[in-house]
Structure 1
Amino acid sequence: MRRALLTLVPLLAVLIVSAREPAAPAAISPAARDRGVYHLATNAETRWVPFDLTPGNQIRFRMQLDGRDVTAILDTGVSYTLLAKASPAVDTAKLVAGGSATAIGGSIALGWMPTRSIAVGGLARTGGGVTVADLPAIATGSASAVDLLVGADMMAGYALDIDYAAHRFRLLRSGRLPFKGETASLRVSAERSVYESAITLGDRRLAPVVVDTGDGSSITVTAPGWAAASLAVPSTTAISFGLAGPAISGLAIVPDIHVGNMVARWSEVRIEPAGGFSQSIGVAGRIGSGFLQNYRVLLDPGARRMVLSRGPKADTQPLRSTSGLLVGVEPNRLKVLHVMRGGPAAASGWKDGDLICTIDTVPIPADYATSPIAFWSAGAPGRVVRLGLCDGTTRALTLARFY
């Protein structure tokens, strides 16, 4: 079954920490940071790490930081592993200024905290440190925040094998090829210190694109890249959330995208506005976890390759909203985060911030994100859904296909 919130409630962290020079003399620049010493266990291939996918499609798991169990997200779009400022793992006595970073919505201030040890699966690091910043729960689309984003600094020296179908991953020696699949280029850029590849959209090759396991979206491209592809497909709008706040983008579903020697069918594409986040960091777009989860994935920048093996979800059409409402889950209610351009909700006067307490008279359940009731927003065209607002009024919404 497709995840109910894959397309319809994209509370997605698009978090690329692009290290800048320090904002003040007291800040520790990336070049001055202790990198730590890494060790990959001899039995690393057997050290699978189980994970679950957040409602925002990120890989969430448990690991250890300074001997403490923490919750983490695997995020190849983050240059330096990032610790949430609110996490109990933060030692304020060790925290110093760490410069600034570029994230969706703007710039954010960073701290820097030295660490004794970090361990994930068969990989351990002694010494080194982590960046520290605000990391709100909305970045994962769930009610609970995580402690840590594990970034490229931890993983880039190894091959990362992500088995989405089995909800597990492991770290291997670079050069290993544990399964067969179709290949694409991959590197860690010197400019941004994140994983990068390329895609072909229409007849236009777009590069570099960030391979970002922390981005819950599928494919994201810049407005100039979308225009250059010259695709005659309808589009609407959507919203995403990053460390620096929300961002509105275009949204379309395209019949095929080339990633290396692989052709992916029916992919959801987000189109950033001119001057948006991707352009601001000098890339053509991103490949996110919403796309990667359709495959078993090997990311091995040391061997300059990404390997994709089709999973059971590959080449199936993604869910499309037929309501035109993108909602966030709050206790006992839904909050309208975005009214999609050209959809039924826009035509009937819905506004951002409207609060929904019932769907066809059924109260919003605590497990809404994984409940079958969440599929109302992608129901059959022509169906009439009665949405009870929290002020006691009821609105009828007729579902329709509009992109």
Structure 2
Amino acid sequence: MALALFFPLLAAIQAPLATALPPVAHAPGAGRLAPDTEARWVPFDLTPGNQIRFDMTVDGRAVTAILDTGVSYSVLARRYADATKLAVTAGGSATAIGGAVDIGWVATREMRLGGLTRIGGGLTVADLPAIATGSARPVDLLVGRDLIGDYALDIDYAARRFRLLRSGRMPFRGQVAPLAIARDKRVYIGEVALGAAELKPMVVDTGDGSSITVTAEGWREAKLAGVRTTSAISFGLAGPVVSTIGIVPMLRMGQLVARNVEVRVEPVGGFSETIGAAGRVGSGFLQNYRVLLDPGAGRMVLSASEDADEPPLRSTSGLLVGVEPDRLRVLHVMRGGPAAAAGWREGDMICAIDGAPVPRDYATSPLAHWSAGTPGRTVALGMCDGTTRRLTLADFY
């Protein structure tokens, strides 16, 4: 089953990282693929925020990176630039999820990623907080359209690997949907049919850990009846965003018919609306498939996993939490859930679950499954002030 927003290992930290960065007045650099690029798979893991994290090199130094097709110009962490004493040129600001962020620019000599080498060019510089990946450790780089957009990107989520191919290659068969690079925002875009609505452009964003995100207007146009919804929180480069979320029975993307899809609805004036998009297709959706993104050929190809249409796991606690070294911090209390009814508040701190202390490896431990447990089960939550609160799980959206 694909990981979803409320899968307990992810808690609340699915982090849309899409940014629409303005063009920078610098030489873009020259990229080339190695003759054996098809054999140069790049292994990755999924962050707790549901993004593709891997290793590459910048100017001969190893860096950790996230593959982010929703970023127009690749972003280097300001923390990394400061630590390595790089000369950063101030560059104004850019639009990001949650608001605006200050950016700069730094020149690079060489970047290597799988079979790709780029000589010259540079990187945008911005703050990349750890919470934007849901991980205790921040990454050094977001790899965006400027580095990979000229090639076909083959992402094998099941095997946790990806590679860069020459545009036009078709390494596997699947359902085909339109894909392009937006002329204005310079990010990957496609389109989605949801209910009565034809939604386009939709940013196809591997850096967005959630599934499908739509604008408030798009949700109204879809005219979906009988979909129960609640509230959720996510974190972008510029901070947190609270939105509405529900599970829709079906949507279409080109030839693909997808079922039981988690959809997030942004508030009026949200990020997608700000950049003139109808929404985003995130990694939480894409990871149900083997994915080929080839904007040069005008297509994406999606080959479904066996359980692609299985319903995503849902919260039954109504608590979205962030993981700290020995405790859980409540980041959001979901509308209409059992936690809201029991009076839980943002900032509440949990140190034990059914008597077991919160371990350092909580995000990957079986203990984390409690928040999406069987409805009717009562969980004893040990608060960090020494008290115990009991929460009965329920199906509420």
- TM-score band, normalised by the shorter chain? over 0.9
1:362 is aligned to: 356
Corresponding residue of 1:318: 312
Is the CA contact (8 Å cut-off) linking 1:10 and 1:217 kept in structure 2?
no
Alignment pair present for 1:375 and 2:396: no
CA distance in 2, matches of 1:150, 1:226: 30
Q: Secondary structure at the match of 1:87?
A: helix
Residue 267 of structure 2 is aligned with which of 273, 286, 299? Answer: 273
Alignment match of 2:323 (pick from 310, 329, 345): 329
> Aligned partners of 2:268 and 2:253: how far apart in 1?
24
- The 1:338–1:4 alpha-carbon spacing in structure 2 relative to 1, beyond 3 Å, is same
Q: What is residue 219 of structure 1 aligned with on the other side? A: 212
The residue aligned with 1:199 is 192
Give the CA deviation at 1:100.
1.2
Equivalent position of 2:36 in the other structure = 43
CA distance in 2, matches of 1:173, 1:189: 20
* Structure-1 residue corresponding to 2:16: 14
AA paired with 2:249? P
2:230 maps to a residue whose letter is T
Structure-1 separation of matches of 2:356 and 2:320? 19
SS of corresponding position for 1:60 = strand
Letter in 2 for 1:298: L
User: How far did residue 98 of structure 1 move?
Assistant: 1.6
The letter for the 2-side match of 1:314 is: A
1:68 aligns with 2:61: yes
The gaps in structure 1 that reach 5 residues or longer are 21-29
Conserved? CA contact 2:243–2:266, under 8 Å: yes
TM-score with structure 1 length normalisation?
A: 0.95
Aligned partners of 1:14 and 1:103 also within 8 Å: no
Superposed, 1:228-377 pairs within 5 Å as 228-232=221-225, 233-377=227-371
- The separation in 1 between residues aligned to 2:4 and 2:151, in whole angstroms, is 33
The separation in 1 between residues aligned to 2:83 and 2:28, in whole angstroms, is 18
- Answering whether residue 114 of structure 2 is matched by residue 121 of structure 1, we say yes
Check whether the contact 2:98–2:238 (CA below 8 A) recurs between aligned residues: yes
Q: Call closer, same or farther: CA 1:210–1:90 in 2, change over 3 Å.
A: farther
Partner Cα separation in structure 2 for residue 156 and residue 368 of structure 1: 36
Identity of aligned residues (%): 65
What's the CA shift for 1:111? 0.8
Q: Separation in 2 of the partners of 1:309 and 1:4?
A: 19
Scaled by the length of structure 2, the TM-score of the pair is 0.97
- Is the 1:3–1:370 contact (alpha carbons within 8 Å) kept by the matching residues of 2? no
**1:10 Cα shift?**
3.2
Q: Supply the AA of the counterpart residue of 1:228.
A: E
Aligned twin of 1:155: 148
In the alignment, the residues of structure 2 paired with residue 305 and residue 2 of structure 1 have an alpha-carbon distance, to the nearest angstrom, of 23
1:101 aligned onto 2:94: yes
Summarize deviations over 1:348-402 as a string: whole Å, max 9, x none: 0000000000000110011111111111011111100010100011111010000
Q: How many residues align?
A: 394
CA distance in 1, matches of 2:207, 2:294: 17
In structure 2, the CA distance between the partners of 1:19 and 1:3, relative to structure 1 (3 Å rule), is closer
User: Of the candidates 370, 383, 386, which is equivalent to residue 389 of structure 1?
Assistant: 383
Distance in 1 between residues matched to 2:2 and 2:148, nearest whole Å: 29
Aligned to 1:54, which of 47, 53, 77? 47
Letter in 2 for 1:286: R
Residues 39-82 of structure 1 show CA distances to partners (whole Å, capped at 9, x for unaligned) of 10010000000000011110000000000010000000001010
Asked if the contact 1:219–1:291 (Cα under 8 Å) also holds between the matched residues in 2, the reply is yes
My pick for the range that moved more, 82-91 or 171-180, is: 82-91
